[in-house]
């Protein structure tokens, strides 16, 4: 939590020194519309991951079982860890720096630069540096999603929608379906089924990479912040 407070302080300094602005330009103050945006982002992202995960499980004849050793305390601890990691990344890649990039260039350039940085960052956080195949896949995946998060911030002028989108996916991925760095969490996946054939595998990867970003883009394409104050 101290790290997030430091990020906020550094963000304020950057905004003030470079554009004479304060943290209000990041849309941090909760409003009814921003909370709706957060809820919308969280729900559709969590639902998208659930569909992706359950479809993969069905096609491979696997199943999920509840982890009987997973306690409420562990759930709260894992959720808090996930929330902090999302806020950390949002403040870096969709916070003051993205705002300043948009101000100094334009929305398109700012979002692209932010998404490229987000993709490169995940080479290190996922530990794939030196593996060209994995680096390419991780860069495409996190870069495209980073572009979605950046565009959500740029159009709404608030961190609520990108944070909801980001948290919905990560919380389901890490805490519910145990696919993240925290190991076995609420649901444990069996590996007694079969692997995916080429076409279903490619289809699911496209669904994962592009499905939600396209939906969010279409939703935000004609979005005007003045209509939602």
Mind listing the pLDDT tens digit for each residue in 81-93? 999 999 999 999 9
Angle between helices 132-156 and 72-93 (to 10 degrees): 80
Instruction: Judge whether 24 lies within some domain.
Output: no
Instruction: Judge whether 120 lies within some domain.
Output: yes
Using CB atoms within 10 Å of the CB of residue 192, give its burial: 0 to 12 exposed, 13 to 18 middle, 19+ buried.
Answer: exposed
Q: Which domain range does residue 177 map to? A: 37-228
Instruction: Judge whether 135 lies within some domain.
Output: yes
Cβ contacts of residue 170 below 8 Å, gap of 6+?
Answer: 82, 85, 86, 180
Q: What per-residue confidence (pLDDT) applies to 21?
A: 93
Q: What per-residue confidence (pLDDT) applies to 83?
A: 97
Instruction: Judge whether 115 lies within some domain.
Output: yes
Instruction: Judge whether 31 lies within some domain.
Output: no
Tell which phi-psi region holds residue 67, choosing left (phi > 0), alpha (psi between -120 and 50) or beta: beta
Q: What per-residue confidence (pLDDT) applies to 226?
A: 52
Instruction: Judge whether 162 lies within some domain.
Output: yes
Q: What per-residue confidence (pLDDT) applies to 227?
A: 52
How many domains are there within the chain?
A: 1
Please list the ranges in the chain whose pLDDT falls under 70.
192-194, 224-229
Q: What per-residue confidence (pLDDT) applies to 158?
A: 96
């Amino acid at each position: 939590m101290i790290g997030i407070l430091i990020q906020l302080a550094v963000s304020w300094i950057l905004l003030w020194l470079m554009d004479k602005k304060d943290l209000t330009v990041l849309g941090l103050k909760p409003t009814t519309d921003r909370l709706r945006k957060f809820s919308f982002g969280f729900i559709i992202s969590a639902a998208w991951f659930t569909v992706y995960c359950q479809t993969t499980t069905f096609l491979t004849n696997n199943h999920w079982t509840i982890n009987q050793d997973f306690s409420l305390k562990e759930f709260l601890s894992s959720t808090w860890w996930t929330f902090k990691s999302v806020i950390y990344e949002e403040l870096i890649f969709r916070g003051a720096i993205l705002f300043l990039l948009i101000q100094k260039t334009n929305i398109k350039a700012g979002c692209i630069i932010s998404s490229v940085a987000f993709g490169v960052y995940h080479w290190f956080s996922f530990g794939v540096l030196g593996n060209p195949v994995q680096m390419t896949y991780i860069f495409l995946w996190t870069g495209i999603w980073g572009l979605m998060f950046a565009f959500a911030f740029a159009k709404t002028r608030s961190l609520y929608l990108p944070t909801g989108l980001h948290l919905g996916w990560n919380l389901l991925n890490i805490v519910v379906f145990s696919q993240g760095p925290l190991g076995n969490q609420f649901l444990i996946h069996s590996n007694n089924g079969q692997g995916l054939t080429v076409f279903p595998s490619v289809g699911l990867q496209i669904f994962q990479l592009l499905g939600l970003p396209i939906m969010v883009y279409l939703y935000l394409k004609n979005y005007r912040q003045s209509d939602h104050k």
